[in-house]
Structure 1
Amino acid sequence: MEFIAHSLDLAMFAAACVVLMLGFPVAFTLAGVALAFALIGWVVGAFDMTFLSAFPQRIFGTMTNEVLIAVPLFIFMGVMLERSKVAEELLDTMGRMLGSVHGGLGIAVSIVGALLAASTGIVGATVVTMGLLSLPSMLKRGYSSELACGSIAAAGTLGQIIPPSIVLVILGDQLSNAYQKAQLDMGIFSPETISVGDLFAGALLPGLMLVGFYILYQVVVAIINPSAAPSIPKEDNPGVTFSEVTNALLPPILLILSVLGSILGGIATPTEAASVGAVGAILLAGYRLGGKRNWPIVLAAVALVFLLFLTANMDLRVARNDIPHWDMIAIYGAAICLALLAWGIISALLRVFRDGILVAVMQGTTQVTAMVFVIVIGASLFSLVFRGLGGEEMIHAALKDIPGGAIGAIIAVMLLMFVLGFFLDFLEIVFVVVPMVAPVLLQLEMPNGEPMSPVWLGIMMAMNLQTSFLTPPFGFALFYLRGVAPPSVRTSQIYRGIIPFVFIQIFGLLLLWYIPSLAIWLPSLIYG
């Protein structure tokens, strides 16, 4: 009986993994396994049921967490851009612009993947969209199946690492809690905090670095083996006009700059910036459906940018006794901008509603958001019971005793997350594994001997999971692509095509390991 009591924490974790791999719903698996092991622990005297009294407070803490409001807003932004055919227009325009050079279609896929990652942040949707749109075109133009599949799958997973990413929003919230707990455990009773904005800034350079490596690989393949990445004959490629490039690229780029710029510039919190992204996605969808009568939406977009400028440079508070003359002018200007913005949003919403897009977007957003937050509740109960069974102390002791000290502990956690990424989605890993291991890791040192940076650790985890989702034979991105690839493309070709990109990912991880400033420099520059 004593042996059972001491091994319940490990058995609980193993049981959750087995049940999840059997295909049961994630949220109910986590909560059900937790309740079952809580009862078993209570029977054998290894669990105190008073632990469960903290569960309602945890749910209330999730409900009142303003950071997590960004999740449904970013999901809405991504689904709206996906359903309004922005990705299709981007791929078509970039393909025609770069198709006349060897490897041009592959380079276009990498660039569009980066833009969609920064616009949507939804990995599955990006892989499926680009697989449906780009793969048939690349195969028709004579691209090797391996290169085409590898390029699409790798570009589709950039949503894990390029901000604004839902993964980084959730990971930032979990790491913030873990960082404060780690500092309290070290006797620091005025702990520092990290924000989602820190992770966004830290992920920017590593994400762009990966995009650069993908493009470099496409160029090298085109030089070494031109037949694997042929150019499109001029008679088959009508080319693009400057107006077409501007209409396809400029709106998404402006939307990305508005969201990221408002966060990195300190104008808005990630939650506020997510609302800017949602509004921008509505305007962009309405703009694409509006034909020539787009001036209400154009005025609304200009008003949105002007509002961001006024917010950054003027004090717009009206509940003051003494309001300076220029502030009052700015307040009136902001009111006019809000009226123009409301007019543009209503106009855009009517267009997407008449086109049948709005209902589908709201249904998709609600489904994904409900899934995320039910998993949050299930994971919260799971981690609570796991701690009550002594799992936290077990993990702490195990990581402290691993050969190699801090470096060995970090490598062990990264390997564990990499393997779990074969079977579990990022939500389960972030909500279950990160709260258990991060408080211990954040008390250790980085490989360069400096105190552990939560930003560096978070970016390492995100890039590690991205690599796991690409690695054969279990990578999620490969399953998404297999589902939309034509029958002529064999699964073995998809696996062979992705292997070079997996090595690129590993190389990127090693660079980040040995050069932590890739993740730390930009947040330090922006936020000090």
Structure 2
Amino acid sequence: MIGISIFILALILLLFGFPVAFTFAGVGILFVVLFADPSQLAQIPYRIYANMGENGGGTVLMAIPLFIFMGLILQRTKLAEQLLVSMGRLFGSVRGGLAISTVLVGTLLAASTGVVGASVVAMGLISMPIMMRYGYNKALSAGTICAAGTLGQLIPPSIVLIILGDVLSIPVGDLFRAAVKPGLVLVGCYIAYIVIFCLIKPDSAPVIPLEDDDTSRKKAILDALMAVIPPLLLILVVLGSIFYGVATATESSALGCIGAVVLAIVYRKFSLSMLLESANETVKITAMVFAVIIGASIFSMGFAYTGGEEEVEHLLLNIPGEKWGFLVFTMLLIMALGFFLDYIEISYIVLPLVYVVVEALNINPIWFAILVAMNLQTSFLTPPFGFALFYLKGVAPPGVNTFDIYRGVIPFILIQIAVVVSLLLYPELYGISPEAPRLW
């Protein structure tokens, strides 16, 4: 059981707070030295080059820093603020309208920036105080902001989908297409829950009165259109170029960067200092991501050389229920690991181990990848370690405590689990085949 023990040791060290990249790399090297041939460590540079090179995932991974750069520029253009204010005025006269507008803005931010932390923080700073001022239920407000902010994990252009495409050797464009329907279903379920909750408890989301004169209503509609149209055009450029085969994901990410700069100019927020700050922050985030990728590659090498892959494959293939037993077990495992690990570590450590079984059981890798992406999104909300919860707690008004946030996200977690189960049982409803496509 040496191969399994390497995984357990890495988890224990992570729980003690050791850096992720160095933990994975160090444990992988240690186990190769102790339980395999130390000369095999000479393969590390070749494995890294294979991952980053043109024949590996290097071309796909280039999209990560570009999409991060695009999201950071849009964050500095105050796109979220303009969307929240204008949409809030438009839907404020509807009961629960502020919560509904938060979900819609979260959807637009997910499809244009894809940066979960920035979305949650922006909506927490702007939307949360307004909801509190008008007497909205604290738990409903907190849960809506956290759930809407994490939509960037699933809705394209998602960094998670790019990483999954690299790990599972799937065209990113195919993953983007497959993720659109589940993402929109999730958004619809969020809005339906808010509407039902407000019907059952009308006092939890009071109506914000809007002047009855035609001028104020026309101005609210015009402001909303002016705020929504620019990001929609950017979404059409980025995703449309991929869906219609005009550009690859990497090429469309470059188009997105140009579009983000154009929007910054339109919003009169562009400056060389803003561009430099966005570039510096992009380098920091990208360096962190790729350090984890390199560490995970070394860990996977140690796991393979000590016999862990064979042990895991044997274990998973002997789970009762064959394909369904494997899928349920894998989803539960990823959800449990999501309490402690980030999506990058899960993607590069766990998925390569189970992908052999995915191929052996003739499971459609696109279906499997979308299931994993939705599962990873759930991990952003699950207490006590969900990242979205920490982001919101850091910017929440003084009257909102941790219990309010935890209580608020539970219904949205249940909604996500329900959508994952529906995708697991009825993938055809989402336009996805459960069987792997034939190559002949």
Superposition TM-score, scaled by structure 2 size? 0.94
What letter is aligned with 2:410?
I
Q: Does 1:405 align with 2:322?
A: yes
- Any conservation in 2 of the 1:205–1:518 contact (CA below 8 Å)? no
Give how far 1:519 is off.
4.5
> Which residue is equivalent to 2:289?
372
What letter is aligned with 2:351?
V
Q: Does 1:69 align with 2:62?
A: yes
Match of 2:107 among 110, 114, 130: 114
Unaligned 5+ runs, structure 1: 1-6, 42-46, 177-193, 291-350, 445-450
Residue 424 of structure 1: SS of its match in structure 2?
Answer: coil
Match of 1:24 among 18, 21, 35: 18
Cα deviations by residue, 1:448-483 (Å, 9 ceiling, x for unpaired): xxx411110000001011112212233221121111
Q: Does 1:511 align with 2:430?
A: no
> Which residue is equivalent to 1:279?
258
Q: Does 1:123 align with 2:40?
A: no
Give me the whole-angstrom Cα distance separating, in 2, the residues matched to 1:519 and 1:352. 43
- Any conservation in 2 of the 1:456–1:519 contact (CA below 8 Å)? no
Unaligned 5+ runs, structure 2: none
> Which residue is equivalent to 1:417?
334
Q: What stretches of structure 1 move > 6 A for 4+ residues in a row?
A: none
> Which residue is equivalent to 1:187?
none
Q: Does 1:58 align with 2:44?
A: no
Give how far 1:253 is off.
0.4
> Which residue is equivalent to 2:308?
391
Match of 1:233 among 209, 216, 231: 209
- Any conservation in 1 of the 2:93–2:207 contact (CA below 8 Å)? yes
Give me the whole-angstrom Cα distance separating, in 2, the residues matched to 1:523 and 1:136. 44
- Any conservation in 1 of the 2:427–2:433 contact (CA below 8 Å)? no
Give me the whole-angstrom Cα distance separating, in 2, the residues matched to 1:518 and 1:82. 35
> Which residue is equivalent to 1:210?
186
Give me the whole-angstrom Cα distance separating, in 2, the residues matched to 1:126 and 1:22. 29
Cα deviations by residue, 1:107-144 (Å, 9 ceiling, x for unpaired): 00000001111111121221111111111111111100
Identity value in percent:
52
Give me the whole-angstrom Cα distance separating, in 2, the residues matched to 1:414 and 1:33. 25
Cα deviations by residue, 1:279-327 (Å, 9 ceiling, x for unpaired): 101111111017xxxxxxxxxxxxxxxxxxxxxxxxxxxxxxxxxxxxx
Give me the whole-angstrom Cα distance separating, in 2, the residues matched to 1:358 and 1:235. 40
Residue 289 of structure 1: SS of its match in structure 2?
Answer: coil
Give me the whole-angstrom Cα distance separating, in 1, the residues matched to 2:250 and 2:405. 37
> Which residue is equivalent to 1:314?
none
C-alpha distance 359-496 of structure 1, shift in aligned 2 (>3 A): same
Cα deviations by residue, 1:25-52 (Å, 9 ceiling, x for unpaired): 11111111111222221xxxxx123432
- Any conservation in 2 of the 1:455–1:519 contact (CA below 8 Å)? no
Q: Does 1:254 align with 2:230?
A: no
- Any conservation in 2 of the 1:201–1:523 contact (CA below 8 Å)? no
> Which residue is equivalent to 1:432?
349
Residue range with higher mean Cα deviation, 476-485 or 263-272 = 476-485
- Any conservation in 1 of the 2:111–2:235 contact (CA below 8 Å)? yes
Give me the whole-angstrom Cα distance separating, in 1, the residues matched to 2:364 and 2:434. 11
> Which residue is equivalent to 2:33?
39
Give how far 1:442 is off.
2.7
- Any conservation in 2 of the 1:84–1:357 contact (CA below 8 Å)? no
Give me the whole-angstrom Cα distance separating, in 2, the residues matched to 1:411 and 1:221. 30
Q: Does 1:137 align with 2:137?
A: no
Superposition TM-score, scaled by structure 1 size? 0.78
Give me the whole-angstrom Cα distance separating, in 2, the residues matched to 1:460 and 1:236. 46
- Any conservation in 1 of the 2:90–2:221 contact (CA below 8 Å)? no
Q: Does 1:352 align with 2:271?
A: yes
Give me the whole-angstrom Cα distance separating, in 1, the residues matched to 2:192 and 2:370. 22
What letter is aligned with 2:403?
S
What letter is aligned with 2:122?
T
Give how far 1:518 is off.
4.1
Give how far 1:13 is off.
0.7
Give me the whole-angstrom Cα distance separating, in 1, the residues matched to 2:271 and 2:157. 24
- Any conservation in 1 of the 2:358–2:365 contact (CA below 8 Å)? no
> Which residue is equivalent to 2:71?
78
Give how far 1:91 is off.
0.7
The size of the alignment, in residue pairs, is 429
Give how far 1:495 is off.
1.1
Give me the whole-angstrom Cα distance separating, in 1, the residues matched to 2:12 and 2:51. 27
> Which residue is equivalent to 1:309?
none
- Any conservation in 2 of the 1:470–1:476 contact (CA below 8 Å)? yes
> Which residue is equivalent to 1:501?
412
- Any conservation in 2 of the 1:51–1:385 contact (CA below 8 Å)? no
C-alpha distance 236-17 of structure 1, shift in aligned 2 (>3 A): farther
Give me the whole-angstrom Cα distance separating, in 2, the residues matched to 1:362 and 1:441. 38
Residue 422 of structure 1: SS of its match in structure 2?
Answer: coil
Give me the whole-angstrom Cα distance separating, in 1, the residues matched to 2:109 and 2:70. 11
Give how far 1:242 is off.
4.2
Cα deviations by residue, 1:52-97 (Å, 9 ceiling, x for unpaired): 2332122112332211110000000111111110111111111111
> Which residue is equivalent to 1:156?
149
Residue 152 of structure 1: SS of its match in structure 2?
Answer: helix
What letter is aligned with 1:245?
A
> Which residue is equivalent to 2:200?
224
Residue 234 of structure 1: SS of its match in structure 2?
Answer: coil
What letter is aligned with 1:246?
L
Give how far 1:367 is off.
0.6
Give how far 1:379 is off.
0.6
> CA RMSD of the aligned region, Å?
2.0
